[in-house]
Amino acid sequence: MDFDDTPDEAAWRAEVRAFLAEHKAELGDRAEEGRAFDNEVSRRRQALLYDAGYVGVTWPVEAGGRGGTPMQQAIIDQEVARAGIPALINLIGIGMCGPTVIGHGSDDQKDRYLRRLLRGDDVWCQLFSEPASGSDLAALRTRAVQDEQGDWHVTGQKVWTTLAHLSDYGILLTRTDPDVAKHRGLTMFVVDMKAPGVTARPLRQMTGGAEFNEVFFDDVVIRDSERLGDVGDGWRVALTTLMSERLTLGGGGSDIGANVEKVAEHVASRIGALAEVRQALVRQDFARSYVATLGARYTGYRLLTALSRGTFPGPEASAGKLAGTRAARELADLAVRLLGDDAVYAADAAGNAGWQMLQAGLPGMAIAGGTNEVLRNIIGERVLGLPPEPRADKDKTFRELAAAGA
């Protein structure tokens, strides 16, 4: 990979940077707003960026995008982070739900949903995990049953659904046939989050925020025209979502956990006499953190290189998420350890208020979108070719597994 901008990339970067500088006041400030999303403000910010052509750059033109390159999108992400502008509210919509609709939706669904999603007119959520199915997603129990008119009736519970309480739509994975193997009896739908029978209850996180939810479905009616993919083909549809999720979280182009220099600056300004603070140990910690940061950055660049060449990174994208969360964790721990109480006030590497907020959010990042252990299994089996885990449930129907309490 060439780390310098080409003339075209440099011109694009200059254009993006100038736009962000000109509109900084309207686009807001990360350090002031923190991590919580103000629904209206966040939607306006996304609309402003979309109207300027800076959201969904790689999406096809007919889906509301620009048909641009991953490199162009990466440059926008870097410049948005550099300018200290808060994250887009609809990242799950853009990263996971939209690609699923593009891959499996009808033309009518694409027309109705995609442009509004990119613009932040509609916010989307991903309704996959349940109380008894997270890593083992295919064990999910939320049922969808079709009536004689062809409508589907959904009953069950999802959990950890990010932004469900602010969302207009969600992609919902359900069980439509319990009498086949668990991966085969699933079907995906688009669900209207304001429909009768949908209840989203925010859950308090240790960051103090309440951005994810438990969501209850009580005989919610969904038209058959809102199905994504064929009946019983929900696992294949979900794989589109999960592959897109891995890319979104894999850090292609973003510098997740970067900026060790920022910690060093903070520490140097707060604790003048670094030399006296067991300097050798402190230096060793900085070096370890710096190496982890570079590991994350270059793994992200490998993804970006693959995308730029038009290939779709496979399970090695899991390595990007692993490296990113590890680097961010090391850096946040180091900052909190060295800065002490000051860590509460000094802005973190991404410009958010307080290193301790990043530290408190990181255990969640190591779980969301595939836990570290599950990602290591994927890398072991599918990248390194190690023997797979035993899968005793492969030849049983979901009904048999559920009866056995699996």
Ligand X SMILES: Cc1cc2nc3c(=O)[nH]c(=O)nc-3n(C[C@H](O)[C@H](O)[C@H](O)COP(=O)(O)OP(=O)(O)OC[C@H]3O[C@@H](n4cnc5c(N)ncnc54)[C@H](O)[C@@H]3O)c2cc1C
**Which residues carry out catalysis?**
245
Helix (H) or strand (E) run with residue 307 in it: helix 279-308
Sequence-ordered list of residues with C-beta below 8 angstroms from that of 292, at least 6 positions apart, any chain: 257, 323, 326, 327, 330, 331
Assess 95 for contact with ligand X (CB under 6 A). no
Q: Give, as ranges, the residues between 184 and 213 that touch ligand X (CB under 6 A).
A: 212
CA distance linking residue 179 with residue 143, whole number of Å: 13
Q: At what angle do helices 70-82 and 279-308 cross, to 10 degrees?
A: 150
Q: Which window, 43-51, 70-78, 193-201, 369-377, contacts ligand X (CB under 6 A)?
A: 369-377
Q: How far is the CB of 15 from ligand X (least distance, A)?
A: 33
Tell me: does residue 352 bind ligand X (CB under 6 A).
no
Residue whose structure tokens are 């440099």: 10
Q: Which is nearer to ligand X, 50 or 212 (CB)?
A: 212
Binding of residue 37 to ligand X (CB under 6 A): no
SS3 188: strand
To ligand X, the closest distance from the beta carbon of 371 in angstroms equals 3
CA-angle at 375, arms to 177 and 331, nearest 5° = 140
Choose between 136 and 261: whose C-beta lies nearer to ligand X.
136
What is the spatial distance between Cα 174 and Cα 144, in angstroms, rounded to a whole number? 6
DSSP three-state, residue 61: helix
Please state the φ and ψ torsions of residue 232, each to the nearest 5 degrees: 85, -5
Is 100 an interacting residue with respect to ligand X (CB under 6 A)?
no
Tell whether residue 54 is a contact of ligand X (CB under 6 A): no
Binding mask 301-340 vs ligand X (x if CB under 6 A, - otherwise)? Answer: ----------------------------------------
- State the CB neighbour count (10 A cutoff) for residue 267: 21
* One residue of 24, 225, 371, 383 binding ligand X per CB under 6 A: 371
Of residues 218-257, which lie at the interface with ligand X (CB under 6 A)? none
Among 50, 128, 217, 286, binds ligand X (CB under 6 A): 128
The yes or no reply on residue 46 touching ligand X (CB under 6 A) is no
Interface positions, 154-173, toward ligand X (CB under 6 A): 160-162
Q: How far is the CB of 379 from ligand X (least distance, A)?
A: 12
One-character DSSP codes across 8-32:
HHHHHHHHHHHHHHHTHHHH--HHH
Q: Are 62 and 75 in contact, with CB atoms under 8 Å apart?
A: no
Q: Which range in 45-53, 189-197, 278-286, 371-379 contacts ligand X by CB under 6 A?
A: 371-379
Site string for ligand X, 135-154 (x = CB under 6 A): x-------------------
Residue 334 CB, nearest approach to ligand X (Å):
22
Distance (Å, rounded) from C-alpha 161 to C-alpha 97?
Answer: 13
Say whether residue 377 binds ligand X (CB under 6 A): yes
Residue nearest to ligand X (CB): 134
CA angle 44, 69, 77 (to 5 degrees): 45
CB closer to ligand X, 106 vs 371: 371
Given the complex with ligand X, which of 70 and 324 has the nearer CB atom?
Answer: 324
Cβ 51 to ligand X, closest distance in Å?
27
Helices (H) then strands (E): counts for the chain: 15, 8
# residues near ligand X by CB under 6 A: 19
Q: Which stretch binds ligand X (CB under 6 A): 128-136, 139-147, 285-293, 333-341?
A: 128-136
Distances (CA, A) of 316 to 170, 346, 377, 380: 28, 34, 11, 10
Q: Which residues bind ligand X (CB under 6 A)?
A: 92, 125-129, 134-135, 160-162, 212, 364, 367-368, 371, 373-374, 377
